[in-house]
Each structure stands twice: as C-alpha cells, then as structure tokens.
Structure 1
Amino acid sequence: MSASEGQRPFTLFEWMMAFRYLRSRRREAFISIISWLSFFGIMLGVATLIIVMAVMNGFRTELLDKILGINGHLVIQPIDKDFTDYKDMVTRIEGVDGVSFAIPFVEGQILASAAGGSSGALVRGMTEADIKKLNLVSQKVLQGSFDDFDDQEGIALGSRLARTLGVVAGDSVKLISPNGAVTPMGVAPRIKAYPVKAVFEIGMSEYDGTFIFMPLEHAQTYFNHDGKASAIEVYVDDPDAVGAIRPAIEEALGRQVYITDWRFRNVTFFSALEVERNLMFIILTLIILVAALNIISGLIMLVKDKGSDIAILRTMGATRSSIMRIFMITGAAIGFVGTMAGFALGLVVCLNIESIRQFVSWITSTELFSPELYFLSKLPAEMNFTETVSVLIIALLLSFLATLYPAWRAATLDPVEALRYE
C-alpha cells in the first residue's frame, strides 16, 4: 500500500481491515461477545422505540377517531333561549364553508334495566338520517338495523351495554329517568319500556357500554323537550381547523350560543397522552445510548488487542486518519446493521401487533389489553414516517459518535511503543 493510496478516505483497504476486525477469532472471543451485545442492544432499542411510538400513535389516532366519530367537532348549546328553531339553525350552519354537516339532538341520563341487570346510560335522541351520517355507529351494527328507525318506537344499544343488560335485538329494555311528569307530590320518575331495534359496536368500551340512541321525536317526548333540541353537533372537514371556522358559525347563527370544540373538551386527556409519548421517546432512547456505550467499550478493547497490528500498519505507510477510519467503519458497521435489523423487527411487530397480543394472551392466559382500562377493543399500531426516520437517524448518529474516541485512540497509538515488547 502506497502512502498516496492511504490518503484517500474510505478506501477498499480500510473497508477490508474493518470487516476483518469484525470477524471473530478464538483469542478475540470476548471482544466478539461485546460486539454482538452491542448489535443486539441497538437492534432491540430501535425496535422497542419504533413499536412503542407506533402503539402510542395508534392509540391516539384510534381514540381521536372514536371520540370525534360519535361526538361533534363543535357542540353548540343555547344560552338565552331554547333551540326551538334547530332545523333552521342546522341549515345556516351547514352553509358555512368547511362544515360537513350538523346534527341536532336531545340528550339525557337514565337508568336502563332489563332481566339481565341494570346500568346507567346516556340516551341521545337523533333522526335516522343523522345517525346514518355517523359511520362509526351506522356501519358497526351487530344486530338489527337502523332502517325505519324514526317510524318505530325503539332504541339502539352499544354492545357492552347490551351484554350488561343481557338483551339482544328484539328484547325490551326499561328506561328510567328522574325527570318525569310533575305531580302534586313532586316530580315522578318516568319509566317506559322500549324494544331494542339495533345493537352496535363502536370499538371503544366507554361508548359501547354507555350510549343508547332513540328517535329524536320520541326522545323529545321522553325528556319533556317537545319541539326543542338540547344541542347541535357540528362536524367539519378538518378537525384541526375548528378554531378558524368557529367565528363564521357564530356569525351565521346570529344569536348568543355557547360553543365548545373537541380540543377544549378533551384537552386534559390528549395532553396527558402527548406528555407520556414524549417521555417514552426520551426514556427508550437511553436503551440505544447504552448499546452505543457497548460499542465504545468493545472498540477500546479491540484497539488494545490490535496494538501491534496498528503499529505494523503505520510502519507500512498507513496514515493516522486511515487507522482512525478503519475503526470508525468497524464500530459504525455494528450500529448500522443493528439499526436496520431493529427497524425490520419493529416493522414486523407493528404490522402484526394484534395477532402477537392475542397469541401472548393465549399463552399466558391473561388479558394484556383490557378494554375496560384502555377504552379500545384491540391494540392499535400506527407507524409515523417522520418519527421512524428520526429514530433511525438517532440510532445511527449515536453509533457513529461512539466510534470517535476509540478510533482516535487507535490513530494516536505510537508504533514504537506498541512494538517495543513484541
């Protein structure tokens, strides 16, 4: 090797020497073990970080879809007088640019009772046409249907509520409201039995165990809201643009109303998710950092073991920069292969996360993702391109930085001292 050849960065010679040092020999078994530990550490760190972030992204997306799929992006409530002209108000709201549709409804809390048990529930009175606008409800029917819903005196239950009450489509459920008819003895509870016309499953346990849909006119009668709506839900094209659309809606209504958007109603919940997500990212990045420290220790031991080889290379004409690049390639190769292997592992797990959860639950006979605790009926995972690329860049950067000190030590090794006792 000529001196001029050694001046060119990342020559074939440097790559050859780097990969030669990566191959284990019997007397270098311990160094090889540290290299393998570094590889598996980076692989597991990258895979864990990708999986956890994907699950948290999926969890947030699923919750957001479920919450906004059954609750409006904006909720308009009366201040000065009741919504007796709600049909005209809906027409004016739907004329605002950016609004998909608006739904008037009557809502009230009741006690639902049947032969199988009883449970508190939330009754929401809506027309058949409006319910069918909510794909999360109308397209998730397990039993019965919403056909001719307005023309029949019946209700639709969430699947978990139906199981709690022990009913199916066609059975009868007794609804008990504390705000009934006013009598000389006070307000008497209103008790009425309704047939179950449909059973739906949104996929969010809190909603499936709470919601009851009733035809709007029957709900107005039941809750003493004849000719009135409790509130109006507004669904917009872009949920993140509710702040910009809100003034236009207020101007279209031309009256005093109280408007809340989905961000205000769920600010604590989604803020907690965001904080948890950021903290998990920082904590799990430490796994990659620990693996990078293993690269440092492995390379330092390799430099000490290869001291005589480095000295011989220096006497043959290899420059300090060439020696430094050899050991940088050695350590960076471990980090690169480990990062790519971690990405592949994380991708496979994310694509099969629900099957893996079910398998582990079957093996351990435990509920790993309880709907009662996590609101959702299955484990979601959604890989974000920018986030995944950030994880890969962080892993590669830490792996590269880990090679600098050991490579510098190898480059500054004095050939005379290294060969003195050989």
Structure 2
Amino acid sequence: MASPRPFSRYEFLIAWRYLRARRAEGGVSVMTWISLIGITLGVMALIATLAVRAGFRADFVDTILGANPHSTVSYAPSQVYNELTEETYFSPGTIQDYDALAARIAAIPGVTRADPAVRGKVMATQNGQRGLGDVYGVSAEAMAALPGVVDPERASGDIADYDRGIAIGIGLARTLGVGVGDRIQLVSPDGAQTAVGTTPRIESYEVVYIFSAGRWDIDEARIYMPLAAAQSFFNREGVADEIEVFVRDPERVDDWTPQLLSAAGERGQVWTWRDAAGSFLAALDMEDDVMFVILAILVLIASMNITSGLIMLVKNKGRDIGILRTMGLTEGAVLRVFFLCGAFTGVIGTAAGVVLGVALSLNVDHVMAALNALTGGNAWQPEVRGIYALHGELRAWDIFRAVALSLGLAFVVTIFPARRAARMNPVEALRYE
C-alpha cells in the first residue's frame, strides 16, 4: 500500500486541531496568540517604515527636480596676467558665448532644455523686515519649465507678468510681509565701482508671482528674476554664470556628464543634482538598511515565541504523538504536522501584518496630521526635514522583503521543535499512560 504524500490533508487537519488549544492547554493558546500578535506588529512596522522612507525620498527628490536644473555647466575661474600692473588675478568663470554653448548642449541627445542663468546672493527688505535671498536670473521660458514652481494650485499671481517683476518663494514673502503687487528692495554688496571703491547696489522690484516649491529652504530664500535684469543687477552684462541643463531621465543624469564636458570645453565643469544631494540620499539609503535590520530583529524575536509555543505543544501532546506513531504515522509526518502548526502562526501573522502595514502606509499623512494636532505642530518640522508633509509610497519589493523575512524566520524556528516531536519514542511517550 502506497504511503500518503507529504503535506496531505490529514496533516493539515491535525495541525489545525492542535493549534486550537483547549482550556486545559491555555499556556499553548497564550503563546500562540503572543506569537501571532508579535509577528503581525513586526511585519506592519516593517512595511510602514519602508513605505515612509520610500515616500520621503520620493518627495525629497521631486522637490529638488521640480525647482532646480538636473545639471549645470559652468566655467572654472582662470588666472589672468595684467601687463600694466604686472599682477596676476583670478577672472570669474563667467560664460561669454552662453547662447552658443546652450545651443550645443541642447543638441545633445536626451537633453530637453539648456538655459543660461545668472546666480547671486542678496538681502531682501520691505516693511522693516529682512531676509536673505538666493537669486536665479533666468528667462521667462526657463521659468515656465519648472514644474515645482509654476503650479497654479500652490502659487499666487500671474506667471505671464514675470518679465516685468520678480517671483519669490512663499516663505520669503511671509518673512517680508508682502504679497503680489508689492515692491521689495534687493541689496547686493557687489554694486557699482566708484573712486572710493565698490558701493552696494540697491534696486526695487515688483513681486508679480509667489510660489511654493514644496521645500522649506527653497520657499524661504528663492528669488527668480528675468535674465536681463539679473545681468544688470549683478554686473554680468553680456555674460552668464552657468547653463541650466534638463535631461530626459534625471535619475541617470550622470550619463550625460561626459557629453556636457565635451560641449563646454577644457574649462567646463558639471554639477548635477546628485552631486548636490548625493550625501543626503546616501544617508537615506544607509538608514533604510539599518531600519530594515533593526525591524528584522523585532520580527525574529516575535518568531522565537513560535518555538516556545511549539515546545509546550509537543510536551502536552506527547501521548497523542505516541498514539499516532503506533497507528503508523511516520517521523516525517509528525515533523510536518508540528511544522504546519508553526507555519500557520507565521502565515496568519504575516498576512495580518501586511494588511495593517498597507493600511497604515496609505494613511500615513492622516496619522501625521493627527500627531501634529496633538503635539501642536511639533511632530513634523519642515525647517528641519525640508519638505512640508510626509507620505507613504508602497513598493512591491518592500512588501516582498517583509513577507519573505517573516515567513522565512517563522519556518526556520519551527524546525527544531518539530524535529523533537518527530524523534519522540512512542514507547516512552505511552509508558506512563
């Protein structure tokens, strides 16, 4: 007579019956529930943490790419020798033929835009209030191509009026106490050259557009000014400081660096958004790995309770094991029965953890809003974390990792007590019955 195949229906029935402990075996039932709840909470925390970390990184990158070029091309300062004074000085790395250079860069396959720009630092004043500003002098076409800045739902004013004024971040507007149509003064220490030295340049501009880029540091300092006005204000007539480059795939922006350097020439230098934020993104990746390890340890601790519960179950079911063995149940069948007891706990706990983890990840913004309300807005500080809100982003790979870890640990820790049950001598188990 052929022996039943492994994991037959009767093995599942016996395992499920053993899991449903009676009142006399309440210790087994308690340990089972502790294991189940522990695995559920561990998997839920792991999925929610990975989703929050993924959402934070995605929001952080989106705010960078929404208000900044993917890459910039500039010239390094050069040494110039003055024959009259016999002195050597450094000439700033400005770009003389910026239109021609922008055209060469725009012709590179994969480059979507290349716009000349002028950069500078200023102090903005109005109504007795002061704030530091980071000026970007760009054309109206380049300004309109920034998705994080030109967003009607988070801005006020008309972007079509950009050529006759300036655009400022909502944080700077709040600091200065100004709105659309008001005028602010910009002060630059590098002003006109006079007989007594350099005098600060002070100009008044109308605020025609107020935007929110989604990043606290950008909204607090960013000022956009028409390219011609910026050239005049910063003494850059006829030159540009850099070429702002936008590519088809920002995540692979480094692939275009060799071509950009070739187009710029020997003095050219390239600075990508990854160079600017690379250390922070690397820190996020490292924190992701550390958090995964820490939460994996918590899942392991919860899984170890399965071992304790199964050892107690094997001890309580010694008589049953002896009877099953005398009825013809093989060691392999007994091992599979108790393995299924632990596996049931792991599978049910993992499934419940996935459901709760996904639900928490999809509603993390509501959870943070509630925490902010309870803590008076201190649960999430945008001036510290950069972005204004926290969202979860579920990724199939993260869910798979959590499920694989939980099930793998649950299956492994059941092997020892299951083997112990399978090797039990039926004669010794029934001697005192």
With the length of structure 1 as denominator, give the TM-score of the two structures.
0.95
**Deviations 1:77-100 (CA, angstroms, capped at 9, x unpaired):** 123563122112111111000111
Q: Specify the alignment match of 1:382 in structure 2.
A: 393
Q: Specify the alignment match of 2:408 in structure 1.
A: 397
Q: Give, in whole Å, the separation in 1 of the partners of 2:172 and 2:245.
A: 26
Q: What code does the residue aligned with 2:295 have?
A: L
Q: Specify the alignment match of 2:56 in structure 1.
A: 59
Q: Specify the alignment match of 2:180 in structure 1.
A: 169
* 1:89 partner SS: helix
Does residue 127 of structure 1 match 2:139? yes
* 1:266 partner SS: helix
Q: Specify the alignment match of 1:265 in structure 2.
A: 276
Structure 1 unaligned residues grouped into runs of 5+: none
Q: What code does the residue aligned with 2:350 have?
A: T
> How many aligned positions are there?
417
Q: Specify the alignment match of 2:294 in structure 1.
A: 283
With the length of structure 2 as denominator, give the TM-score of the two structures.
0.93
On the 8 A contact 1:116/1:164 being kept in 2, the answer is: no
Q: Give, in whole Å, the separation in 1 of the partners of 2:266 and 2:149.
A: 32
Q: Specify the alignment match of 2:312 in structure 1.
A: 301
On the 8 A contact 2:124/2:187 being kept in 1, the answer is: yes
Q: Specify the alignment match of 1:216 in structure 2.
A: 227
Offset of residue 247 of structure 1: 2.1
Q: What code does the residue aligned with 1:347 have?
A: V
* 2:361 partner SS: helix
Quick one: which of 331, 349, 362 aligns to 2:342? Answer: 331
Quick one: which of 137, 140, 145 aligns to 2:158? Answer: 145
Pair 1:116–1:315, CA change in 2 (3 A): farther
Quick one: which of 127, 137, 146 aligns to 1:115? Answer: 127
Q: Give, in whole Å, the separation in 2 of the partners of 1:146 and 1:117.
A: 25
Q: Give, in whole Å, the separation in 1 of the partners of 2:420 and 2:357.
A: 35
Matches within 5 A, 1:28-107: 28-79=25-76, 82-107=94-119
Quick one: which of 216, 224, 243 aligns to 1:205? Answer: 216
Offset of residue 200 of structure 1: 0.4
Bigger mean CA offset, 279-288 vs 366-375 = 366-375
Offset of residue 69 of structure 1: 2.4
Q: Give, in whole Å, the separation in 2 of the partners of 1:415 and 1:254.
A: 85
Pair 1:129–1:366, CA change in 2 (3 A): closer
Bigger mean CA offset, 402-411 vs 383-392 = 383-392
Q: Give, in whole Å, the separation in 2 of the partners of 1:279 and 1:241.
A: 26
**Deviations 1:226-264 (CA, angstroms, capped at 9, x unpaired):** 121111111111224333322222333445311122222
**Aligned sequence identity (%):** 40
Pair 1:31–1:243, CA change in 2 (3 A): same
**Deviations 1:352-400 (CA, angstroms, capped at 9, x unpaired):** 1101111232234342111111111110211221222121111111110
**Deviations 1:311-356 (CA, angstroms, capped at 9, x unpaired):** 1111111111111111111100110111111111111111111011
Offset of residue 266 of structure 1: 2.2
* 2:28 partner SS: helix
Q: What code does the residue aligned with 1:390 have?
A: R
Q: Give, in whole Å, the separation in 2 of the partners of 1:409 and 1:107.
A: 73
CA RMSD of aligned residues (A): 1.6
Q: Give, in whole Å, the separation in 2 of the partners of 1:169 and 1:43.
A: 52
On the 8 A contact 1:116/1:167 being kept in 2, the answer is: no
Q: Give, in whole Å, the separation in 2 of the partners of 1:366 and 1:304.
A: 54
Bigger mean CA offset, 307-316 vs 135-144 = 135-144
**Deviations 1:263-284 (CA, angstroms, capped at 9, x unpaired):** 2222221111111111111111
On the 8 A contact 2:192/2:198 being kept in 1, the answer is: yes
Quick one: which of 160, 184, 201 aligns to 2:171? Answer: 160
Structure 2 unaligned residues grouped into runs of 5+: 79-92
* 1:217 partner SS: helix
